[in-house]
Homo-oligomer: A and B are copies of this chain.
């Protein structure tokens, strides 16, 4: 699919230079069409009956399969969730952390991960990475690991600085590694088997262009049996029993609207049609964005990271974002940091980036 075909499928791009997939991706036409079709069906036919439920369960299975394929996860290792927040809470609670346990994390994390860690009861060792260059991150994280460390929890790509964190280098120490993949999956190539992590979260409404409140949690298969299911739903159990269902689906917190499942499948199909070349294109455009911004502002994101480009404008970041929005350029600010962030995707055009640069 060439750029014009990609962009034709994402109508918001006609309206503005949309550079905020790190919050919500642009929606494909086919996604909304699939959701509308499902809603029309539910309205006319009702949401009931054996065939209805079997079809929705089959739809869940298909979504698990495609999401799993996208991140290199083996069968049975994907639990559908509504968000990375859900997924982080599930993973943190699965480990039965207590006050004698320590968690190593960073000062770059989203409340969706940090919130769950804070209420876990464990002691947090928050490694300061915000002020360090990426090549010093691994040593700083390693220095925080102690014999009491029961979890290493960090982003694949930091939502704040846009930096890729050293996940692969942290695994294999006998300590579970939970990866917040909200800014990873769909943005850069992800292979959980190769990464070797124990948990990986996906926010499908961002870089995978899915409907609101869609995503999943990967759980390393060898781990599943020993983990606690803290928020079970009827999907957690073998039907008619209170015996846990096999594999990661036991962690699924509940029903997902069938329209959202259909819409997500359409979005994932769009991503797959765009091909694996989309990752290289998005990376190249992110570097191009850096280049354009470097001439006009102070960059926060170093070269060679992922698809977020964060910078520290001299003016108030929220005011800048508002001024750009009025000019048809959509980015976001990062409250408390004074930073602004552009999200660059495989759908981004030179013109989008030039409009951003011109607005600074």
Chain A interfacial positions (CB closer than 8 Å to B): 11-12, 15-16, 18, 20, 23-24, 26-27, 29, 32, 35-36, 39-40, 42-50, 82-83, 85-86, 89, 93, 110-112, 114-116, 118-119, 205, 211-213, 228-234, 236-237, 239-240, 242, 253-260, 318, 321-322, 325, 330, 332, 335-336
Contacts of A20 in B (CB 8 A): 46, 48
Q: How far is the CA of A322 from the CA of B45 in the complex (A)?
A: 16
Q: Is A46 a contact of B237 with CB atoms below 8 Å? A: no
The distance from the CB of A155 to the nearest CB of chain B, in whole angstroms, is 15
Residue of B at shortest CB range from A51?
A: B325
Partner of A43 from B32, B114, B116, B119 at Cβ < 8 Å: B32
Q: Is A255 a contact of B213 with CB atoms below 8 Å? A: yes
Q: How far is the CA of A36 from the CA of B322 in the complex (A)?
A: 28
Contacts of A258 in B (CB 8 A): 212
Q: How far is the CA of A95 from the CA of B166 in the complex (A)?
A: 38
Q: Is A116 a contact of B232 with CB atoms below 8 Å? A: yes
A231/B116 contact (C-beta < 8 A), A11-B43, A12-B46 known: yes
Q: How far is the CA of A83 from the CA of B232 in the complex (A)?
A: 12
Q: Is A12 a contact of B44 with CB atoms below 8 Å? A: yes
Contacts of A318 in B (CB 8 A): 50
Residue of B at shortest CB range from A118?
A: B242
Contacts of A12 in B (CB 8 A): 43-46
Contacts of A237 in B (CB 8 A): 111, 115
The distance from the CB of A108 to the nearest CB of chain B, in whole angstroms, is 15
Q: How far is the CA of A236 from the CA of B88 in the complex (A)?
A: 15
Residue of B at shortest CB range from A263?
A: B39
Q: How far is the CA of A124 from the CA of B23 in the complex (A)?
A: 43
Q: Give the residue among A40, A114, A230 with the most B Cβ atoms within 10 A.
A: A230
Partner of A212 from B24, B29, B257, B321 at Cβ < 8 Å: B257
Q: Lowest 4 A-B CB distances belong to which pairs?
A: A24-B47, A212-B257, A115-B232, A12-B46
Contacts of A335 in B (CB 8 A): 239-240
Q: Is B11 a contact of A240 with CB atoms below 8 Å? A: no
The distance from the CB of A340 to the nearest CB of chain B, in whole angstroms, is 13
The distance from the CB of A191 to the nearest CB of chain B, in whole angstroms, is 27
Q: Give the residue among A16, A45, A47 with the most B Cβ atoms within 10 A.
A: A47
